[in-house]
């Protein structure tokens, strides 16, 4: 496992050191991060179209990061991926993620989002990256609770359409030799293991359809986040280290009662302040041979972002496990001798 790295979306801003790539890269390195996960919506940090077309530009980006003391761990198109599939109920809310000229036109907005993902595949390849982070978008999220009763075939039709939109994007990532990792996240059609499986079936188990594992979203759904690794480790290609807590009460539980984050029973917390067992997560991922980055995603309704980032690098570094190169009991190993095992088992005995 590589790391620590840090996802920059929650830190980008207009004031130094968060206002351009060079400044924020030096800031991340000063805190002990080795990688930066880079969102692709702000040209001050990366021009996605240029990165898709120009190897020289990508080499310059890598050089600037290296000079600052970090490397790009992955690119992110979370906001663009959201726009690949939007239920009309959310049109107004998600329009702000699109360029001004595409707003108010869902078809044009989706077309732009799909093109953004395809550019990200090419840019990732030129940057020498092996995985990419995104959201699935949501056509069915208004119907996640089975009331009123859903008409027969509604969910099947939704997954068929989701697959139709994503398959050409997955093919573009396959051509680029990059894994496309969907963050399993409430608000997205791919929000748990069961929904990911349905999508995987709909895209015929596409070799580039993978998972960005973030245990915080699983805890807040009261899903077993360790068993999730057991079930889907072959598809986990990215990892957000983000903490959370769930403290239900007599007033509200998983659904949160429309309350603000600070008042909800389920809240995101800075690393080490929540309930998630990261020692167990790092052990489980190491057990299954996860070789990607461990990336801090800071989201907390209590702790300041700067403090969370400063604490996060050391937290991750202390939990990364150097996988054992030999068995602990090799000192007592014995050499193989032809026929010995059968003799030990009594298979060659005359009795």
What is the CATH classification number for the domain harbouring 249? 3.20.20.150
Return the pLDDT at 122. 98
- Copy the structure tokens of residue 129: 């990256």
238 in a domain, yes or no? yes
Q: Which residue reads 């699109």 in tokens?
A: 98
Range of 183's domain?
2-344
215 in a domain, yes or no? yes
Three-state DSSP state, 4: strand
349 in a domain, yes or no? no
Which positions ≥6 away from 109 have C-beta within 8 Å?
83, 86, 95, 98, 102, 103
Return the pLDDT at 106. 97
Q: How do residues 72-108 score in pLDDT, each as one tens digit? A: 999 999 999 999 999 999 999 999 999 999 999 999 9
Q: Which residues pair with 241 in a beta bridge?
A: 296
Task: Return d(Cα 67, Cα 48) in angstroms, integer.
Answer: 21
350 in a domain, yes or no? no
Q: 255 and 288 in contact (C-beta within 8 Å)?
A: no
Domain count, the chain: 1
Average pLDDT, the chain: 97
Report pTM.
Answer: 0.95
Task: Return d(Cα 228, Cα 109) in angstroms, integer.
Answer: 33
241 in a domain, yes or no? yes
Q: How do residues 22-60 score in pLDDT, each as one tens digit? A: 999 999 999 999 999 999 999 999 999 999 999 999 999
260 in a domain, yes or no? yes
149 in a domain, yes or no? yes
In 3D space, the residue among 52, 98, 102, 94 whose CA is nearest the CA of residue 75 turns out to be 52
């Amino acid at each position: 496992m590589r790391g620590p790295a840090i996802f920059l979306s929650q830190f980008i801003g207009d004031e130094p050191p968060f206002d351009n790539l060079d400044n924020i890269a030096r800031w991340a390195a000063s805190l002990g991060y080795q990688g930066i996960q880079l969102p692709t919506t702000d040209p001050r940090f990366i021009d996605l179209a240029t990165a898709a077309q120009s190897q020289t530009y990508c080499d310059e980006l890598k050089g600037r990061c290296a000079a600052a003391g970090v490397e790009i761990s992955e690119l992110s198109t979370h906001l663009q991926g959201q726009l690949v599939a939007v239920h009309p109920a959310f049109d107004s809310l998600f329009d702000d993620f699109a360029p001004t000229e595409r707003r108010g036109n869902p078809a044009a907005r989706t077309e732009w989002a799909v093109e953004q993902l395809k550019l990200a595949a090419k840019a990732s390849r030129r940057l020498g990256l092996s995985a990419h982070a995104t959201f699935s978008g949501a056509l069915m999220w208004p119907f996640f609770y089975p009331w009123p009763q859903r008409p027969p075939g509604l969910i099947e039709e939704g997954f068929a359409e989701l697959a139709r939109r994503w398959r050409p994007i997955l093919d573009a990532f396959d051509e680029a030799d990059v894994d496309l990792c969907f963050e399993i996240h409430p608000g997205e059609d791919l929000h748990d293991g069961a929904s990911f499986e349905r999508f995987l079936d709909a895209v015929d188990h596409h070799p580039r359809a993978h998972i960005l594992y973030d245990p915080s979203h699983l805890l807040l759904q009261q899903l077993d986040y360790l068993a999730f690794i057991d079930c889907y480790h072959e598809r986990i290609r990215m990892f957000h280290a983000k903490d959370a807590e769930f403290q239900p009460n007599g007033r509200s539980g998983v659904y949160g009662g429309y309350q603000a984050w600070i008042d909800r029973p389920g809240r995101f917390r800075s690393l080490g302040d929540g309930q998630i067992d990261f020692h167990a997560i790092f052990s489980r991922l190491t057990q299954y041979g996860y070789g990607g980055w461990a990336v801090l995603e800071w989201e907390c309704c209590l702790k300041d972002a700067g403090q969370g980032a400063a604490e996060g690098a050391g937290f991750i570094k202390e939990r990364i496990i150097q996988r054992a190169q030999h068995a602990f009991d090799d000192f007592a190993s014995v050499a193989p001798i032809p026929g010995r095992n059968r003799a030990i088992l009594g298979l060659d005995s005359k009795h």
